[in-house]
Amino acid sequence: MEWLSVKLETPDEINLILGQAHFIKTVEDLHEALVNCVGGIKFGLAFCEASGPCLVRSSGTDPELVELAQRQAFQLAAGHIFVILLRNAFPINVLNAVKQVPEVCRIFCATANPVEVVLAETDQGRGVMGVIDGFKSKGIETENDVEARKTLLRRFGYKL
């Protein structure tokens, strides 16, 4: 077995959801879940088929994000993994709907941070062992940091 680390490069202002599902139907069902969550949502999604032709399947409403999701999924080339890239929407807006898609088995991360995916590769294929989401902690928040966090959440409209 070989261990690999793959960095997923995403442009600023793009959020990523990385998950695992179990069936080719995932592509259409995730597409429907996303467009039903947020009117006018801009996204690209790609899914690594794990049997038959083993293709990267894709869909979306933003051609640039679809192409980027395809490239990222193909970089991973791990069975039944999906990548969703969001523009002008946050994972918090769609995550419950994504989790409710019957084929979805797990979510590895939902983030705008840089992501490294830790993979194991065997003779059979690749699997995701985990993710590194963002950076190492640098300290513990102060009272000023608490205020800044609260201000940010209210500016985004998530708290009153």
Phi, psi angles (nearest 5°) of residue 42: -110, 120
pLDDT for the residue 159: 87
pLDDT at 156 over 90: no
Give me 78's structure tokens: 């791990």
CA distances from 92 to 1, 43, 86, 134, 136 (A): 36, 14, 11, 17, 23
Residue 82: the pLDDT is: 98
Distance of CA 100 to the CA centre of its chain: 15
CB atoms within 10 A of CB 69: 27
Sheet of 14-20, strands arranged across: 56-60, 42-48, 81-87, 14-20, 106-111
Domain boundaries, the chain: 2-155
Task: Give the Cα separation of 159 and 48 in Å (integer).
Answer: 37
- Phi, psi (deg, nearest 5) at residue 113: -75, 160
In sequence order, what are the beta bridge partners of 153? none
Count Cβ atoms below 10 Å from residue 33 Cβ, excluding itself. Answer: 18
What local confidence, expressed as pLDDT, does residue 9 receive?
Answer: 87
- pLDDT of 160: 85
Report yes or no: 74 and 44 within 8 Å, Cβ to Cβ.
Answer: no
pLDDT (tens digit per residue) in 50-94: 999 999 999 999 999 999 999 999 999 998 999 999 998 999 999
- Tokens encoding 13: 């202002």
List of residues 6+ apart from 1 with CB closer than 8 A: 120, 121, 122
Q: Which pLDDT tens digit goes with each residue over 94-140?
A: 999 999 999 999 999 999 999 999 999 999 999 999 999 999 999 99
| pLDDT tens sequence across 27-49 | 999 999 999 999 999 999 999 99
Statement: 2-155 belongs to CATH 1.10.3110.10: no
One-letter-per-residue 3-state SS of 49-71: CCCCCCCEEEEECCHHHHHHHHH
